[in-house]
Structure 1
Amino acid sequence: MPREAMVEPSGGSMGSRSLLRRMNSLGVLRALLPQPLTLRELADASGLSRTAIDAIVTDLVEMGWLESVERASASRVGRPATAFHVRAGLGHLLSLDIGANHIHAVVTDLAGAVLGQRTARLPEDTGATERISLALATGDAVLSTLDLTRGSVWIVAVGSPGAIGRDGEVLHFGGTGLPDWVGLNLRERFEQEFDGAVLVEGDVALGARAELTVGAAQGHRDVVYLLCGVRTSAASIVDGKVHRGVHGAAGIVGEMPELRWSRLNERYGESVLGSPRPSREEIFEAARAGDRIALTAMDEFADDLATGAAAMILALDPELLVVGGGSAPGADVFLPRFIHTLGEICPLPPDVVVSSLGSEAVAMGGVSLASQHLDTVLQTAVRDVERFPDPAGALRLVRRTAAS
């Protein structure tokens, strides 16, 4: 027997037929965001009747959410099947990873599919005003390659080092560089530039979110994520959600001097590497070639990284630890020692894996945050409005969240 709704109602009650229609409209839209589907495929996947699916898809097409596309048959016999997908160019998401030494911008469609990206480099002592200007210019550059403007962006996600308050203010940054960054309200600053919603989150939390949604932590509920780049920090995923803490400061365990995580990547192997210090990549390559000095430095790096990771593991008892950030490509030369040291400290160590997301992790976490926000806005509309919103109505609701 066909089911009635694709989306679970809040409060456990199905409510009116109008509510049921709105719930199923959201369910169909969710199903079609990642891929085109035919009416038959939608009916099979949803459990709804073909008649119900046909009516909902017709509504969404008339509202401007969906459009049809012909899909060739695998057998090449007969007419192509008609599939439906979210209308191309309907809206876009922009994710800006503002780091101490880089800006990385990613533009996606509403489904989170990457359309373009760009990276810019800058010194860590760049002032806040210039840093934000470069972030905006980098985002504009990506948009322009796609013939888009800021007006096409529904949601902007901004990732920043440090502890980020729920209102978007940078409450704390324990490293060097980033002058005038602490105390800056990033949400208010970027709301001056965009009409869409602006979301702000710490870079480590966004990296963990990316691992949870598209990376190595998929399918896991309790995870420790290490963002090991120019600076090293950690985030925790507890019961399937990234834990940010009261002040957005969960995971800054690396600021304890005893753990030697502060500027770890600039300091390991100081006693053997000499001056001028080789780059991180040069040390990795030398270690792969069996260079004794580089291997000694890698052992020191692995031990210090494991000591800080153990502090997180002993507090949380996760099932998985993900090593990410700029040092992840060199994991082949330090991971065995890291796992060994971790096992000596932790009686029940988790499985350890290396992220494959690379330097894009924080920006992709921003895309995930923006996608979830859009879905939350539509869920709220299902509950609170009499009719499922068309795209213009949804955009107004998204913009309203930016002002609230």
Structure 2
Amino acid sequence: MVREAMVDTASSMGSRSLLRRMNSLGVLRALMSQPQTLRGLTTASGLSRTAIDAVVSDLAGMGWLTAAESAAARGVGRPATTYRMPREVGCLLSVDIGANHVFAVVTDLTGDVLGQLSGSLAEEDDAEARVSATLQVCDRLLAQVGLDRGSPWIVSIGSPGAISADGRVLFFGGTGMPGWVGLDLRARFATEFDGAVLVEGDVPLGAQAELAYGTAHGFDDVVYVLCGRRTSGATIVGGRVHRGVNGAAGIVGEMPELKWAELNELYGQDVLAQPRPTREQIFALARAGDPAARAAVDEFADDLAQGAAAMVLAIDPQLLVIGGGSSPSADVFLPRFEQTLAKICPLPPRVTASTLGSEAVAMGGISLAAQHLDAVLEDAVRDLASFPDPAAARTLLRAAG
């Protein structure tokens, strides 16, 4: 049976105009995922070839899509026309601002990375110096790919701490970053960019990246532990990152009993030599069988598991993901971590290490921006008389804030 619409709504019936807008969004979503032919779109959607052809023609005429001939299968027959979203339509910018670093990535609207760039910060940098250094990194990155501050449709800002729904820093439990708490990050960066500005905590963005691109993809209920210079966590509930009323869900590391606040500075202090080896050196020594390093890593794994268990017992997840700077050495501490977790949790989840690396927070911002764009287009399908072209979509994004 041929379907009428690709996008489900509360009611499957509606005007022909509404159905056309719904199908426009459905086709656009499919082509943002990957380039496709008309035959592929028809097969995947269940719509008629005529309906798909009309929608694709509309979207191409508005500038959303471009067509290119691809080689025919086995080199025979007429080449198939493949449709995709051209990179020139628009871009997304995501920035991870930490106590000691800034990392920025720019992608096209499909999420394909166009470029990335990092810079160094000092813990003692005040808020304005930190923002200024961040903007310099963004300017250099955008210039490298032939863009400027007027180009990004959406700018995502990732920051340590708890972030309010309107983009203010409510809490930061770490050291340094003077003047950061209380800063309205959304308003500050909105004065610098033409696009919409989104702000979220770095740990929830790490979880968002895992959900969109990493080991949590396809899972509904997940605990994510970010173990870097500081250790904190986030939860994915029902397939969405749970941020809480104040954007503070998951910061169990603020409980001193869990030893997470200074976990990476204190473990093994009774057995390690002085001066203390770096985290990487400790893990390398433990991997080589050094008894002192092995004891230190066991202490680290036990303390990490205590806080993780508190989160696991709260939501009973399918999966627990360990990300951050410690994750590349998970082979050293994960067996002990799982043993300790199982002693505390009667029904422990599967445990895995993240493979996303240091780009996780920034890529979580790209995923957040893509979700925001999709939500704005879905609202347009419901509220407008016609599907918006790219220029109108940018206007809608700015209005949505």
TM-score greater than 0.5 by the shorter chain: yes
Aligned-partner residue type, residue 294 of structure 1:
A
For residues 187-239 of structure 1, the C-alpha deviation after alignment (integer angstroms, 9 at most, x for no partner) is: 00000001110000011111111111111111111110000000000001111
- Output the CA distance in 2 between the equivalents of 1:261 and 1:36: 45
Question: Retained in 1: the 8 A contact 2:243–2:249?
Answer: yes
For residues 70-115 of structure 1, the C-alpha deviation after alignment (integer angstroms, 9 at most, x for no partner) is: 1112311233211111122110000001111111101001011111
Aligned-partner residue type, residue 366 of structure 1:
G
Aligned-partner residue type, residue 283 of structure 1:
I
For residues 230-267 of structure 1, the C-alpha deviation after alignment (integer angstroms, 9 at most, x for no partner) is: 00000011111111110000011101000000021111
Corresponding residue number in structure 2 for 1:2:
2
Corresponding residue number in structure 2 for 1:261:
260
Long gaps (5+) in structure 1 = none
- Output the CA distance in 1 between the equivalents of 2:36 and 2:147: 27
Corresponding residue number in structure 1 for 2:108:
109
- Give the secondary structure class of the aligned counterpart of 2:93: strand
- Output the CA distance in 1 between the equivalents of 2:210 and 2:191: 31
- Give the secondary structure class of the aligned counterpart of 1:271: coil
Corresponding residue number in structure 2 for 1:37:
36
Corresponding residue number in structure 1 for 2:76:
77
- Output the CA distance in 2 between the equivalents of 1:276 and 1:187: 42
Corresponding residue number in structure 1 for 2:234:
235
- Give the secondary structure class of the aligned counterpart of 2:89: coil
- Output the CA distance in 2 between the equivalents of 1:125 and 1:57: 53
- Give the secondary structure class of the aligned counterpart of 1:272: coil
Corresponding residue number in structure 2 for 1:216:
215
* Residue 47, structure 1, aligned to residue 32, structure 2: no
Aligned-partner residue type, residue 372 of structure 1:
Q
Aligned-partner residue type, residue 251 of structure 2:
I
Question: Retained in 1: the 8 A contact 2:87–2:109?
Answer: no
Corresponding residue number in structure 1 for 2:127:
128
Question: Retained in 1: the 8 A contact 2:221–2:319?
Answer: yes
- Output the CA distance in 2 between the equivalents of 1:235 and 1:38: 39
- Output the CA distance in 2 between the equivalents of 1:274 and 1:100: 27
Question: For 1:3-402, what aligned pairs fall within 5 Å after superposition?
Answer: 3-9=3-9, 11-402=10-401
- Output the CA distance in 2 between the equivalents of 1:49 and 1:186: 47
Question: Retained in 1: the 8 A contact 2:151–2:194?
Answer: no
- Output the CA distance in 1 between the equivalents of 2:382 and 2:224: 35
- Output the CA distance in 1 between the equivalents of 2:35 and 2:266: 50
Alpha-carbon deviation of 1:13? Answer: 4.0
Aligned-partner residue type, residue 330 of structure 1:
S
TM-score (norm 2): 0.98
More deviation, 154-163/212-221: 212-221
TM-score (norm 1): 0.98
- Output the CA distance in 1 between the equivalents of 2:303 and 2:22: 50
Alpha-carbon deviation of 1:155? Answer: 0.1
Aligned-partner residue type, residue 325 of structure 1:
G
Alpha-carbon deviation of 1:130? Answer: 1.2
- Output the CA distance in 2 between the equivalents of 1:5 and 1:13: 8
- Output the CA distance in 1 between the equivalents of 2:160 and 2:43: 45
Alpha-carbon deviation of 1:326? Answer: 0.7
- Give the secondary structure class of the aligned counterpart of 1:89: helix
Aligned-partner residue type, residue 231 of structure 1:
R
- Give the secondary structure class of the aligned counterpart of 2:76: coil
Alpha-carbon deviation of 1:2? Answer: 1.1
Aligned-partner residue type, residue 15 of structure 1:
G
- Give the secondary structure class of the aligned counterpart of 1:5: coil
Number of residue pairs matched? 401
- Give the secondary structure class of the aligned counterpart of 1:204: helix
More deviation, 82-91/222-231: 82-91
Percentage of matched positions with identical amino acids: 67
- Output the CA distance in 2 between the equivalents of 1:38 and 1:147: 30
- Output the CA distance in 1 between the equivalents of 2:57 and 2:400: 28
Long gaps (5+) in structure 2 = none
- Output the CA distance in 1 between the equivalents of 2:81 and 2:313: 54
- Give the secondary structure class of the aligned counterpart of 1:376: helix
- Give the secondary structure class of the aligned counterpart of 1:212: helix
- Output the CA distance in 2 between the equivalents of 1:263 and 1:360: 23
- Give the secondary structure class of the aligned counterpart of 2:301: helix
- Give the secondary structure class of the aligned counterpart of 1:298: helix
For residues 14-43 of structure 1, the C-alpha deviation after alignment (integer angstroms, 9 at most, x for no partner) is: 211100000000001001112211111111
For residues 28-69 of structure 1, the C-alpha deviation after alignment (integer angstroms, 9 at most, x for no partner) is: 100111221111111111111000111111111111111101
- Output the CA distance in 2 between the equivalents of 1:168 and 1:372: 17
Aligned-partner residue type, residue 58 of structure 1:
S
For residues 158-202 of structure 1, the C-alpha deviation after alignment (integer angstroms, 9 at most, x for no partner) is: 010000000000001111111111000000000000111000001
